[in-house]
Each structure stands twice: as structure tokens, then as C-alpha cells.
């Protein structure tokens, strides 16, 4: 096949070079579009029900907004380290890239650690998913977001290992840092919506 393509590409007339983003990136964008609709479904349901029914602010007053704010800071910082990792990949600073990937992973774990402290506190105070509609939404939305954070940690950890072992630098694989980054920023942006909706409102 490769020979066939080579002969064919020799025939490709000038002006047919693709301007489309690489397939991997395009795939990630479509995936994120569908993810936006999943979280959009939750956020829409939350807002509509909260507007229609009373009693939610009372329940909402028991979440720990300080820990939530700290977590927001952690996640935004991790987006920064992700960008720095990508930048390091682009300018071929391999050790620097690995370090920032590791930092991103650690910040992800920090986020989950803080979140589990919150969960522990809330559960021990008796606020379970069935304590009221606000709490149901709180647990399902932050829970699903947490699963996404975990997924991002796994992706970034794989990339970190690949960067340390050197396999990341062969062929087109370094593009994966950008794909993982897109996903990671998406997870960050979801939190930017969840934080005011669940902690501040």
C-alpha cells in the first residue's frame, strides 16, 4: 500500500495539500463536542430544576467553598503546567516537558485529594446523594467530573512515562501531548462552570 500511495501522491496536483487539522486532533475535538453535551445536559437540568423548585440554597450553603476555591486554583494551575509541557515539547526541551507533565499529574492528584477531603466531610456530616436534590446533583456532577480528572491523570501519566523512556519522541507521538492537553483544558473548563454553580450560587 505504501508504494501505491507514494506513486499516487506524486500525481497529486499542486494545491491539494490539506489544510485540515491532523486526524487525531479532529477526533479529540469531536469527542469534546459530545462531552460538552453530556455536561451540558447536567448543567441544564440543574439550572432548570433549581429555578423551578425551592429549598436548594439551604442545602447548597453546606458545601465548603474555600476548598472548592483552592481546587479551582489547583486545576487552573495544572492547565498552565500542561501548556508549559506542550511548549517544552514544541521547542524540544525533553526533560522540561517530562517535568511539567509530572507536575500536571501531581496537580491532578491534588485536586482529587482535596475533593475526597470534601466528600469525607460532607458524608460524615450526613449529606449523602439522597439528602436532597441539590446534593444529588452535587455528587453526580462533581463525581463525573472527578472521573474525567482521573482519566486525564492516566493519560498524562502515560505521556510522562513515554517522555521519560524516550518513546514519546519517536514519529508523530509527541502530538499526543497536545491531544491530552485539549482534553485536560476541557476538564478544567467544566470545573470553571461547576464551581460557581455548585459552590457560589
Partner 1 sequence: MEVATSHTQPTGFIRRYLFSTDHKVIAKQYLSLSLAMALVGGFTSYLIRWQLAWPETNIPGWGPIGPDDYNAIITMHGTVMVFFVAMPFLLGAFGNFLIPLMIGANDMAFPRLNMISFWTLFTASVVLTSSMFVPGGAAAAGWTSYAPLSDNPIYTGVNRGQNLWILAVALEFGSFLMGGINFLTTTLNMRAPGMSLSRLPILVWMEITAAVVFLLSVGPLIAGALMLLMDRTLGTGFFRPDRGGDPLLWEHLFWFFGHPEVYVVALPGFGMMLEIIPVFARKPIFGYRTIIWSTIAAGLLSFIVWAHHMFVSGMDPRLATPFSVTTILISVPFAIIVFAMIASVWRGAIVLSTAMLFALGGLATFLVGGVTGIFLGSATTDIFLHGTYFVVAHFHYTLFPVTFFGGFAGLYYWFPKMFGRMMNEALGKIHFLFTFVCFNAVFIPLFLAGLKGNPRRLYEMSSYDFLKPVQQFHVIATIATIGLLVGQLPLVVNFVYSLVRGKTATANPWQANTLEWTTASPPPHENFRKMPMVYRAPYEYSVPGAPSDWIPQTEPPQPIYPVTAVAD
Rounded distance between C-alpha atoms, residue 70 and residue 76, angstroms: 10
Closest separation between CB of residue 15 and partner 1, Å? 10
Which among 4, 26, 38, 2 is positioned nearest to 193, based on CA atoms?
38
Rounded distance between C-alpha atoms, residue 63 and residue 198, angstroms: 8
Residues 106-135 that bind partner 1 (CB under 8 A): 128-130, 132-133
User: Mask: binding to partner 1, 140-159, rule CB under 8 A, as x and -?
Assistant: x---x---------------
Q: Is residue 31 a contact point for partner 1 (CB under 8 A)?
A: yes
Site size toward partner 1 (CB under 8 A) is 47
Rounded distance between C-alpha atoms, residue 170 and residue 99, angstroms: 19
Closer residue to partner 1 (CB): 73 or 123: 123
Closest separation between CB of residue 20 and partner 1, Å? 5
Q: Give residue for cell 521547542.
A: 91
SS3 of 131, please? coil
Torsion angles phi and psi, residue 172, rounded to 5: -100, 10
Contacting positions for partner 1 (CB under 8 A):
1-2, 4-5, 7-9, 11-13, 16-18, 20, 22-23, 26-27, 30-31, 33-42, 44-45, 48-49, 52-53, 55, 128-130, 132-133, 136-137, 139-140, 144
Amino acid at each position: 500500500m505504501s508504494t501505491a500511495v507514494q506513486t499516487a501522491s506524486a500525481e497529486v496536483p499542486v494545491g491539494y495539500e490539506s489544510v485540515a487539522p491532523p486526524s487525531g486532533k479532529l477526533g479529540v475535538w469531536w469527542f469534546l463536542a459530545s462531552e460538552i453535551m453530556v455536561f451540558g445536559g447536567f448543567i441544564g437540568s440543574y439550572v432548570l430544576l433549581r429555578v423551578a423548585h425551592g429549598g436548594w440554597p439551604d442545602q447548597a450553603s453546606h458545601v465548603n467553598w474555600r476548598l472548592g476555591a483552592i481546587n479551582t486554583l489547583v486545576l487552573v494551575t495544572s492547565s498552565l503546567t500542561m501548556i508549559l509541557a506542550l511548549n517544552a515539547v514544541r521547542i524540544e526541551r525533553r526533560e522540561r516537558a517530562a517535568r511539567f507533565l509530572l507536575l500536571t499529574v501531581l496537580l491532578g492528584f491534588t485536586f482529587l485529594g482535596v475533593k475526597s477531603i470534601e466528600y469525607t466531610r460532607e458524608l460524615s456530616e450526613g449529606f449523602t446523594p439522597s439528602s436532597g436534590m441539590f446534593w444529588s446533583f452535587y455528587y453526580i456532577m462533581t463525581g463525573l467530573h472527578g472521573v474525567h480528572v482521573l482519566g486525564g491523570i492516566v493519560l498524562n501519566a502515560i505521556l510522562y512515562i513515554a517522555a521519560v523512556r524516550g518513546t514519546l519522541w519517536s514519529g508523530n507521538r509527541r502530538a499526543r501531548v497536545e491531544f491530552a492537553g485539549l482534553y485536560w483544558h476541557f476538564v478544567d473548563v467544566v470545573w470553571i462552570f461547576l464551581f460557581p454553580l455548585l459552590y457560589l450560587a
